[in-house]
């Protein structure tokens, strides 16, 4: 029987500030969610359930205004499970391939669910037969400390296509954390998802990322929908605790549209300031809400051998896990931007998509 972690909106952490690291190099903040997740993840690491031991990763901040966080993680490139053969963004679940029903049960940290009476979507979930519980398990090939996977009821055998429940729980997981370095993300098929079984990634990265305060242009602000004003080109949603259900619905409309249009996409969920606020490094603007960035992108099936990094959810957000030392030591901000640009949609395609999505969200 898995440990069940239950929560309500009262457990969300409001007005989160980016705290300075203590002498040990860690951020001295924690919530009940953080305590359970960090303790469970550390326990599985000590029991040897991972493909490699993750120590302190060598990290450098690339010079430049985007402050890319580069980390050397050679073992992940060598030891991670070979990605499945993906041929379509709408590929059906295949029970004969690896999926999360086949994992070692000891890899499960806990299940999470919203307490009865605290989930506005629970009745809707029951009518639509959408999952109501999220399994949280360790990623045995971790990117960073606490790297876990959020899998909605694995026995449902859902393909790697986002649902409203998965989006909402991803947002709420960020709100449950008192650590501003906790992030959640999603790779669609064709956007470097390696397993065709619905899952999101979560992990801690105690470095600020440009996307936390990047400026944005309002598109449909009443639905929380904005256009990123800076590189890399994509869309931004913003929500605070009271609007999670509404914004999760808008994001679901966008990702459903992208799937129907056969457009690959990555999402990144992080604490961040409101698009209407300007981050002041001296004042430390409180991170009251969650920024969800959606990057429509060119489809890419299969890992690119010999590449410095694969352009997926964390790389687009500015966190770069490098596969080899030479690239880690020598790549510049411009080099990184040139690589990332090759995976983004051309500007004319993105503008057309922007018009379509704006109309779609205002119908």
Task: Give the neighbor-by-neighbor strand order of the sheet with 235-239.
Answer: 4-7, 108-114, 134-138, 148-152, 200-204, 182-187, 264-272, 289-297, 235-239, 225-228, 216-220
> For residue 219, is pLDDT > 50?
yes
In percent, the amount of the chain with pLDDT more than 90 equals 78
Average pLDDT, the chain: 90
Q: What is the mean pLDDT of residues 85-91?
A: 88
> For residue 158, is pLDDT > 80?
yes
Tell me the Ramachandran region of residue 138: left when phi exceeds 0, alpha when psi lies from -120 to 50, beta otherwise. Answer: beta
Residue 109, pLDDT score? 98
Report whether the peptide linkage leading into residue 29 is cis, meaning its omega lies within 30 degrees of zero.
no
How many CB atoms are closer than 10 A to CB 340? 21
Residue 55, pLDDT score? 87
Highest mean pLDDT among 116-120, 235-239, 273-277: 235-239
Three-class secondary structure of residue 280 per DSSP: coil
Q: 33: burial class by Cβ within 10 Å (0-12, 13-18, 19+)? A: buried
**Which carries the bigger pLDDT value, residue 329 or residue 123?**
329
Q: In CATH, which superfamily holds the domain spanning 38-362? A: ATP adenylyltransferase (3.30.428.70)
Sign of torsion, CA 247 253 254 255?
positive
CB-facing half-sphere around the CA of 10: CA atoms within 13 A? 4
Q: What is the mean pLDDT of residues 147-156?
A: 97
| H helix and E strand count, the chain | 9, 14
Which of 78-87, 88-97, 103-112, 245-254 is the least confident region?
78-87
**Which carries the bigger pLDDT value, residue 270 or residue 18?**
270
Q: What is the mean pLDDT of residues 125-137?
A: 76
Antiparallel, parallel or unpaired: β 182-187 and 264-272: antiparallel
Residue 301, pLDDT score? 76
Residue 282, pLDDT score? 46
Residue 27: which pLDDT band, with cuts at 50, 70 and 90?
very low
Residues 260-301: tens digit of each pLDDT: 999 999 999 999 999 987 655 545 667 889 999 999 999 987
Residue 205, pLDDT score? 97
What are the residue numbers of the active site?
199
- Token pair belonging to 301: 């099936």
In 3D space, the residue among 247, 286, 320, 273 whose CA is nearest the CA of residue 76 turns out to be 320
> For residue 357, is pLDDT > 90?
yes
Residue 22, pLDDT score? 47
| CA separation for the pair 30, 133 (Å, rounded) | 23
Residue 303, pLDDT score? 54
Residue 72: which pLDDT band, with cuts at 50, 70 and 90?
very high
The helix or strand, by DSSP H or E, that contains position 251, with its residue range, turns out to be helix 244-260
Q: What is the mean pLDDT of residues 141-165?
A: 97
> For residue 7, is pLDDT > 80?
yes
> For residue 78, is pLDDT > 50?
yes
| CA separation for the pair 198, 188 (Å, rounded) | 9
> For residue 1, is pLDDT > 80?
no
């Amino acid at each position: 029987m898995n440990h069940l972690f239950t929560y309500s909106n009262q457990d969300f952490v409001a007005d989160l500030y980016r705290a300075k690291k203590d002498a040990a190099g860690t951020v001295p903040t924690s919530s009940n969610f953080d305590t359970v997740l960090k303790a469970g993840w550390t326990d599985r690491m000590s029991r040897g359930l991972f493909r490699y031991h993750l120590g302190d990763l060598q990290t450098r901040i690339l010079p430049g205004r985007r402050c890319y966080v580069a980390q050397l993680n050679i073992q992940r490139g060598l030891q991670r499970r070979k990605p499945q053969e993906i041929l379509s963004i709408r590929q059906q679940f295949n029970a004969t391939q690896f999926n999360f029903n086949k994992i070692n049960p000891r890899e499960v940290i806990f299940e999470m669910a919203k307490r009865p009476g605290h989930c506005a979507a629970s009745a809707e979930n029951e009518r639509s037969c959408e999952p109501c519980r999220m399994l949280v398990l360790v990623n045995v090939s971790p990117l960073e400390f606490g790297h876990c996977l959020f899998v909605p009821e694995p026995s449902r055998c859902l393909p790697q296509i986002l649902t409203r429940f998965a989006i909402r729980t991803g947002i709420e997981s960020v709100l449950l954390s008192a650590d501003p370095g906790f992030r959640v993300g999603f790779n669609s098929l064709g956007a470097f998802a390696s397993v065709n079984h619905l899952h999101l990634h979560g992990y801690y990265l105690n470095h600020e990322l440009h996307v936390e305060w990047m400026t944005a242009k309002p598109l449909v602000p009443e639905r929380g929908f904005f256009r990123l004003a800076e590189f890399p080109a994509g869309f931004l949603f913003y929500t605070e605790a009271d609007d999670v259900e509404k914004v999760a619905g808008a994001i679901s409309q966008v990702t459903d549209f992208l799937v129907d249009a056969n457009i690959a996409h990555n999402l990144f969920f992080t604490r961040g300031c409101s698009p209407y606020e300007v981050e002041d490094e001296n004042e430390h603007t409180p991170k009251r809400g969650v920024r969800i960035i959606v990057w429509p992108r060119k489809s890419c099936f299969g890992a690119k051998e010999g590449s410095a990094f694969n352009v997926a959810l964390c790389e687009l957000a500015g966190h770069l896990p490098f596969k080899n030392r030479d690239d880690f030591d020598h790549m510049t901000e411009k080099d990184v931007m040139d690589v990332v640009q090759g995976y983004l949609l051309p500007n004319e395609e993105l503008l057309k998509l922007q018009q379509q999505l704006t109309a779609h969200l205002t119908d």
